[in-house]
């Protein structure tokens, strides 16, 4: 069955709300408006204001309330409109939700799910367009997910809600209109990366909104006889180093595509792990394609130039293969 990424998220939320009375959704405009990205459209009328809660414009306040609700036995899903705004909620997420199991000696857990849009490509300028997934992936005590397919959008929420610790789910804004086949078995774990395309000559490692670009680059290069393997990280913390290393030991080359900035990026962490685990398996230095080190511009041609693009990926791959 072919559905959109948005509809897959909507189905997952609807199932969660229907199957467990402890689950509720809150965030800015999630209720009467139906969500900034129309994911919760119709939920307010169906489930009512107790379970679909519109909040004030205060990420610090409503994410903090979500932490408290999770501690009190509820299963809150908190929607933050965009990752840039989530920086206002770093204290309840990083200083409280991520630490309480450790600080309480295992007596408390915070089963909180925070959903947020991330990424650029829609001409919304710097305050609405950055890719800060690695900021959260840096923090112990948080599980960080980046569904990039319709199947993962449908299947990741249920295990996230079942996790006793906080889970942050990043939904790239460019994916909401993406359409794809929903697999018959769309249930998934939230621990492992996925091989989206098998190959032999080089491993492309990516996640989130960059996956379609990596897949397109691999398809175009295949027409030239270049065979790439594409790894979708899916889970940014904890990283599935085993799947990454297994692929690189087979292909002996790797390129990482990451919409984050190069400095301090998730790509840098993956490169370091490949150096630690696969150094003697590599036939070339690991390369990466990241966003330019600038706030994301508003002008379309400048925004495109600042982001990883298919042409950039192809050029880096060919440089690594000397073709």
Which residues participate in catalysis according to the annotation? Answer: 59, 128
Give the separation between CA 312 and CA 300, rounded to whole angstroms.
Answer: 17
Phi, psi of 229 (to 5 degrees): -100, 135
Residue 95: is it exposed, middle or buried by C-beta count within 10 angstroms (0-12/13-18/19+)?
exposed
| Crossing angle for the helix pair 310-321 and 211-222, to the nearest 10 degrees | 50
Q: In the block, which residue shows the tokens 């993962």?
A: 152
Angle at 16 between CA 107 and CA 59, to 5 degrees: 65
Distance CA 108, CA 114 (A): 18
Give residue 36's Cα distance to chain centre: 18
Q: Which residues contact 106 (CB under 8 A, 6 or more apart)?
A: none
Look up residue 154 and give its two tokens: 């449908």
Q: How many CB atoms are located within 10 Å of the residue 238 CB? A: 14
Q: Cα separations (Å) of 95 from 89, 174, 276?
A: 10, 30, 30
Cα dist from 56 to 115, 167, 269, whole Å? 17, 22, 36
Peptide bond into 183 cis (omega under 30): no
CA separation for the pair 110, 70 (Å, rounded): 5
Q: Which one-letter DSSP state was computed for residue 323?
A: -
CA 199, 201, 206, 210 torsion-angle sign: negative
DSSP letter (8 states) at residue 249: H
């Amino acid at each position: 069955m072919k559905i959109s990424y948005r509809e897959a998220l909507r189905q997952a939320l609807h199932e969660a709300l229907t199957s467990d009375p402890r689950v509720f959704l809150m965030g800015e405009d999630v209720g009467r408006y139906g969500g900034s990205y129309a994911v919760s459209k119709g939920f307010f009328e169906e489930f009512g204001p107790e379970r679909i809660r519109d909040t004030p414009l205060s990420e610090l306040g409503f994410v903090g309330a979500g932490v408290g609700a999770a501690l009190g036995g509820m299963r809150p899903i908190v929607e933050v409109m965009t990752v840039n705004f989530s920086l206002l909620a770093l204290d309840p997420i990083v200083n409280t939700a991520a630490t309480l199991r450790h600080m309480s000696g295992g007596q408390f857990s915070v089963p909180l799910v925070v959903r947020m849009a991330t990424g650029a490509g829609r001409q919304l300028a710097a305050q609405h367009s950055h890719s800060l997934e690695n900021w959260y992936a840096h923090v112990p005590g948080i599980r960080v997910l980046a569904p990039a397919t319709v199947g993962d959008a449908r299947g990741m929420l249920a295990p996230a809600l079942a996790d006793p610790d906080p889970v942050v789910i990043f939904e790239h804004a460019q994916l909401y209109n993406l359409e794809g086949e929903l697999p018959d078995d769309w249930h998934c774990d939230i621990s492992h990366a996925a091989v989206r395309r098998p190959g032999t000559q080089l491993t492309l490692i990516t996640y989130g909104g960059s996956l379609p670009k990596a897949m397109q680059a691999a398809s175009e290069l295949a027409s030239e006889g270049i065979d790439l393997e594409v790894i979708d990280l899916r889970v940014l913390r904890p990283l599935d180093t085993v799947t990454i290393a297994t692929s690189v030991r087979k292909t002996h080359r790797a390129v990482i595509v990451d919409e984050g900035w190069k400095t301090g990026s998730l790509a840098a962490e993956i490169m370091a792990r490949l150096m630690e685990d696969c150094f003697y398996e590599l036939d070339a230095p690991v390369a990466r394609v990241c966003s330019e080190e600038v706030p994301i511009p508003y002008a379309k041609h400048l925004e495109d130039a600042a982001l990883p693009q298919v042409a950039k990926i192809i050029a880096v791959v060919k440089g690594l293969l000397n073709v």
